[in-house]
Amino acid sequence: MKLDPDKIYPREQDHSICYLKGIIANPNVSVGDFTFYHDFADPREFERKNILYQYPINHDRLMIGKYCSIACGAKFLFNSANHTLTSLSTYPFPLFAEWDETMRVTEAWDNKGDIVVGNDVWIGYEAVILAGVRIGDGAVIGARSVVTRDVPPYAIVGGAPARLIRKRFDEATISALLDIRWWDWDPHRVSEHLSAIRSGNIDELQAANTKDEP
């Protein structure tokens, strides 16, 4: 079996799922190997329909790790969607040169930074991720959640605004997974140890990690 993160459709007869790495053209968007997006219409429209208000003038970035699962309708809202709260008015005067040609367009919004999604993250149906948010490895974002703040590794969050529901594992297991970083392994090595990953056997995975180290 050929494990190819650069192909578009991982399931030949199913065009509702695509690997994002091969369809992204925006230089300010990066997506890791085997991360996929599912859409009931056309998942190849992800860059146009799901990454919103990411205007080149602001230079903000979307960085998504490897082995992430992104459900239909998930949105990433960037800084240009904001209206500044440091002004006495939220009206975006700098967008319209008729008011004052010396104003910079980027002064119309508060810049909260990039959106960074770790590895092995599951983003649920129609979840919204706001500018400046960092989502840790292994986290789960509940359906229709609005993520306004950073999410720790292996946390499950939900709601609007999203709040911590629980951690997926105990702290020792989380620490071990963050140390092992199986998502950085060669995909064939991942395949060899898939049973340990899928069964939740952290001891076996740690042993494999130590054994396979050069």
Q: Which two tokens stand for residue 86?
A: 């440091």
Question: Which H, E and C letters describe 71-86, residue by residue?
Answer: CCCCEEECHHHCCCCC
Q: Tens digit of pLDDT for each residue in 8-58?
A: 999 888 999 999 999 999 999 999 999 999 999 999 999 999 999 999 999
CA atoms of 123 and 39, how far apart (whole Å): 13
> In the chain, count of helices (H) and strands (E)?
5, 15
Res 213: pLDDT: 57
How many CB atoms are located within 10 Å of the residue 156 CB? Answer: 17
Catalytic residue among 15, 38, 59, 83: 83
Query: What structural domains and CATH numbers belong to the chain?
Result: 17-168 (2.160.10.10), 169-214 (no CATH)
Residue 147 has pLDDT above 90, yes or no: yes
Residue 212 has pLDDT above 80, yes or no: no
Q: What mean pLDDT do residues 72-76 have?
A: 98
Q: Which two tokens stand for residue 6?
A: 């650069």
What pTM did the predictor assign? 0.93
Query: If pLDDT is split at 50, 70 and 90, which confidence band does 2 have?
Result: confident
Tell me the angle at which helices 171-180 and 202-212 cross, rounded to the nearest 10 degrees.
30
Are 187 and 3 a contacting pair, CB within 8 Å?
yes
* Active-site annotation holds for 83: yes
Res 4: pLDDT: 86
Q: Which two tokens stand for residue 76?
A: 């990433």
What is the percentage of the chain residues whose pLDDT exceeds 70? Answer: 98
Residue 114 has pLDDT above 70, yes or no: yes
Q: Which two tokens stand for residue 137?
A: 């490895």
CA atoms of 51 and 114, how far apart (whole Å): 12
